[in-house]
Structure 1
């Protein structure tokens, strides 16, 4: 049974890294002693070790050992044997390219199908959708494909921001960009605001957190309030 926590962001304003997710993470990783961390999105040019250490420091309260996938000589086997997985945020293009380089898509999808607890933040959430084509990230590398895990039947736009009516900004809003995507692609998109996340147990998908989210589907934009089950 699938067991995922998919967050728009790793942190929210005024709190530490992952802090707003602590109560949920205690439940997600219940009974797990070691987490496989995938740092391939590597934000801000930090090293894999630095990124992994920041996760270890943040999650020390759970008594978890965090081990980066880059520490293994056999990365496929690392995923196959993982008892818990965390894919961190950063640049989605870079993350997707690395997962193709190491041919990890099938084993990662199988681990999720087998019920291995999975935490994704930002880019790590983006890759659970059908494709990465609704990311906000710059294409700093060119991945083999835009196709991603497809463990949820839609795409994400994480860090989603509603258009400001009185704004003097003339550039395109997130809503406009999503509609551009849907003028060619017929994939549903969930606009997920910072501080919000999805909790997935089996086929149940529930919006959690303090912010509403938005479905973009069939030329419609539909507000979703917290604690709504998206598969109800």
Structure 2
């Protein structure tokens, strides 16, 4: 019996070592195929690109609170967030997703939305490369300019005009929270297509901002009472 157990342990160790070697070879092969980051640099030079300094603090806080609250502390992949999102999503479909802002930048610029292991591996490795090449503020800036937000709007500056007919600087806290709720399902859950769902998402984001200490109780209450006037 002892010899059988010993043989089983040896086989298990060999399987683990072999799997690790195969995974390493696969990662090295994929890394050689990763595209350069020129697309990110070129995009930042476009005429309508909006620097981070022009985004209202309330909008930035709302986006980070709902999309990637640990954005400034992880290295591109938030393993704590993955576990938390998995647990939360069992009971609350308004909760955060597992993709970080960096991963979404990698996907939006370079990858399809096909749910395959190969595509996910590319996304992870590209995220690490982006984090190594750019600052956190630069990554967030790319995200805010690129993400699709429904009604033909790409980026939050475009969405501010599309939904509210105003520039970024004039957005209220309530409006910022509404826009921050769009990336998860921009076509189906925007305030034009589905006002009720958009409102639910807005309230959830405001509550998260309050819990994270980004807004005060009076600001939270005021934003909940503010009527939204769409363009």
Instruction: Compute the TM-score of the two structures, normalised by the length of structure 1.
Output: 0.30
Instruction: Identify, as 1 or 2, the structure richer in helix.
Output: 2
Instruction: Identify, as 1 or 2, the structure richer in strand.
Output: 1
Instruction: Compute the TM-score of the two structures, normalised by the length of structure 2.
Output: 0.30
